[in-house]
Amino acid sequence: MRNKIRYKLLSVIILSLIIFIICLPVIYAQTSQDDSSINGVPSAQNRNSDDIDKKEVSDFLMLLVKQIQEASGINIIWLNLMAVVAIILISILVYFILKKLVIERALKGIFEKTRNNWDDILLKKGVFKPIALFAPVVVLYFGTGIFPESGDILRNILNAIIAMLIVMFINRLVDSALAIYNTTTICKKRPIYKSQVQIVKLILYILGGLVAVSLLLGKSPWGVLGGIGALTAVIMFVFKSTILSFIASIQIASNDMVRKGDWISVDQYRADGEVIEMALHTIKVQNWDKTITTIPTYKLIDFPFKNWRGMSESGGRRIKRSIYLDQNCIRFADDELLAKFRKINLLKDYLDKKLNEISNYNKDCDLSDHMLINGRCITNVGTFRAYLVNYLKSLPKIDKNMSFLVRQLAPTPKGLPIEIYVFCNDTAWANYEDVQADIFDHVLSVLDVFDLRVFQDPTGRDFSMIDIKH
């Protein structure tokens, strides 16, 4: 019931407004003809109706108020007050019609029926809301004609508000354009980051603020800009981080150093994770422990950092780990050990080829077979490395087209390092860790077959096994 009464009242107001708008040119023409000699207003018959400027509107409104005052006998102060209230009410009505009826109902209803997503994004980002605010400001602008003495000041203020509404409209349009672009397929190859959009917005705000101030003061924007030039040092100090971040954003974007979604490591900030946001002033990194590190944008230019994007794009993730062998267990392979090696399927081809090569070499060099040291011989650690190569090649998760090494590093006090340097073709963290763990589980388990032992520092159990003689 209340809604019906509300809509009926609204219909009456709208109808009255339409009648008023229709009658307005007639009233204007009549009053301008009757009082052109008194007020010095040229007759409407001698000019084109399209040439009405703000002074003519002001004269018309003043004349209209005067005619109403003479006809009704109402005090001019009360009449002006009533005119102000009427202009404000008309402004509110225009805003309500545009916002509630046109934008939230008519436009929304039309956009919901289309198959396109871009119109829904425009509505969601509120692109049309500044237009609803723009219309009542225009009504107020023309309504200032009833105040000839302070009309210029009010118009300057309203001009500045209009300029800021235009900036607001363009700002939301830019946000909508970014959201629409992010729904396209090309955005994956050529993304537009939040920092780049913020740079555009910053320039827009500066230009919009400059125009608004110039309109408010009634001066040229160049004159206002010249006055700001005297405060350059203060501006440079206040906006130091903004300027540095602006330059850094350009360098990062032009050199393609970081993208949203990249895995980066910044040791100075203990950041190691995925880039989740790139703004003008900061870059947010979500670490693997789900904490978030915020890094000033310009610091990525000052400090070195590691970007793991190349690993993701190559499709291979590096496994680089060593096991340390006890050097006391390294020895030549005798017949008994060779017999054990021959039972290993992955070593059959290697042993046949290697033993034949060693036999021919020793025969050609006339080397004695009585002492192993006199000629070339197979060692348990060398055979172990050959086994690791064949074992890794047999795994489907290891990429054979990328760097593939099983190498012996320089001996250390901790033992002899045997390093596995290969690439896993599954870059997902959990899967990669599973593959790496499975490899080294197997490696550590087969050491006894080769009469090898892993080196580790003695523990309490080791000391308890020592037989102390008195």
76-96 and 129-143 are packed helices; what angle lies between their axes, rounded to 10 degrees?
Answer: 160
Residue 202's contacts (CB-CB under 8 Å, 6 or more residues apart) are 242, 246, 280
Query: What pLDDT does residue 38 have?
Result: 41
Instruction: Return d(Cα 257, Cα 469) in angstroms, integer.
Output: 66
| Averaged pLDDT for residues 257-273 | 88
Please check the confidence at residue 66 and state whether its pLDDT lies above 80.
no
Nearest 5°: phi and psi at 222?
A: -70, -35
* Per-residue confidence band for 437, with pLDDT thresholds at 50, 70 and 90: very high
Q: Which of 25-29, 229-233, 278-282, 460-464 has the highest mean pLDDT?
A: 278-282
| Of the candidate ranges 42-51, 433-442, 449-458, the one whose mean pLDDT is the lowest | 42-51
Per-residue pLDDT band at 381 (split at 50, 70, 90): very high
Determine the pLDDT at residue 388.
95
- In this structure, is the dihedral angle defined by the CA atoms of residues 324, 328, 332 and 337, taken in order, positive or negative? negative
pLDDT at 60 exceeding the cut of 60: no
Question: Which segment of 61-65, 257-261, 283-287, 307-311 scores lowest on mean pLDDT?
Answer: 61-65
What band does 78 get if pLDDT is binned at 50, 70 and 90? low
Q: How confident is the prediction for the chain on average, in pLDDT?
A: 76
User: What pLDDT, on the 0 to 100 scale, is given for residue 408?
Assistant: 93
Q: Is there a contact between 470 and 462 (Cβ–Cβ < 8 Å)?
A: no
CATH class of 193-311: mainly beta
Q: Using the predicted structure, report yes or no on whether residue 18 has a pLDDT greater than 50.
A: no
Confidence label for 71 from pLDDT (cuts 50, 70 and 90):
low
| Whole-number pLDDT of residue 367 | 66
Q: What is the mean pLDDT of residues 243-264?
A: 82
Nearest to 307 by CA among 339, 341, 266: 266
- In this prediction, residues 10-31 reach a mean pLDDT of 43
Q: What is the pLDDT of residue 90?
A: 77
Please state which architecture CATH assigns to domain 317-459: 2-Layer Sandwich (3.30)
Average pLDDT over residues 58-78: 58
Q: Is pLDDT above 90 for 111?
A: no
List the single range of 81-85, 229-233, 297-301, 388-392 with lowest mean pLDDT: 229-233
High-pLDDT (> 70) share of the chain, %:
70
* Domain residue spans of the chain: 2-192, 193-311, 317-459
Highest mean pLDDT among 13-27, 227-241, 299-313: 299-313
Q: pLDDT tens digit string along 117-137?
A: 777 777 777 777 777 777 777
Quick: pLDDT tens for 280-292.
788 999 998 889 9
CA distances from 135 to 59, 87, 131, 141, 176 (A): 22, 12, 6, 10, 22
> Given a cut of 50, is residue 42 above it in pLDDT?
no
